Structure 1
């Protein structure tokens, strides 16, 4: 699956090339450290959200966390809308959206 993900999303494992993937439509990207207010257990809450849509076998929907960008990309026909309110509450508005 990883080879297919790299090919389909043009993954560029780099500390300087950004964004690291070609973000599909629809998708939304949040910066993981964008929030500047105290929110209890941010990592745990983000993890619970991400686990709802890690990656489907057909790559139709999923999530991609990039450690160097410190971003979380969420894509698919239903997943971004399903998690947008919660992620925006935790992290602020998405930094990029493709519709």
Structure 2
């Protein structure tokens, strides 16, 4: 039997969210942006003009980079106020047994109505999708190195950039 590509965070979910709120100063708001203290380095793009084909390409770019960085390990996929997951990207594919029995990633980086967040297990890189600002913040030097050129081409000039502090 094939291994699951992702499992719902159950026992760990409260601790993960507590750490996220603390480390990112998360302030869920409909009108005040950004909702997190964007870490350095990070780049935030507007998603306001993204169409369906761009959403697919956005997911492809981000998921591929997360898979590269995770290797055989896992990343966290957080959906605010909804079930969250631990994802093993190397297991995603047609031969996996995924809840709810459909192969693929449990979330898109595109925030479809709620905050969608991908995080390294140690929080050193990830994405933060803001549904009301319609933005995507990509952070961590490793993840930016793998995604920035493609996301710039897809989404245009960034809204914000948080440089590395020397």
Aligning the two structures, in what range does the TM-score lie when normalised by the shorter sequence? Answer: 0.7 to 0.9
Q: Which runs of 5+ in 2 are unaligned?
A: 1-15, 67-117
Please, what is the CA RMSD of the aligned residues? 1.7
* Cα displacement (A) at 1:77: 2.1
Note the alpha carbon deviations across 1:41-84, whole angstroms, 9 max, x for none.
10101111222333101100000101011000000122112211
Match of 1:8 in 2: 23
Number of aligned residues: 96
Q: Match of 1:17, SS? A: coil
Partners of 2:157 and 2:144 lie apart in 1 by 13
Which one has more relative contact order, counting CA pairs under 8 Å at least 6 apart?
Answer: 1
* Cα displacement (A) at 1:7: 1.1
Note the alpha carbon deviations across 1:8-35, whole angstroms, 9 max, x for none.
0011111112111000000000001256
Q: Match of 2:48, SS? A: coil
Q: Which runs of 5+ in 1 are unaligned?
A: none
* Cα displacement (A) at 1:97: 0.6
Q: Match of 1:23, SS? A: coil
Larger radius of gyration: 2
Match of 1:20 in 2: 35
TM-score by length of 2: 0.54
Match of 1:80 in 2: 144
Matched, 1:44 2:108: no
User: Out of 115, 126, 135, which is 1:71 matched to?
Assistant: 135
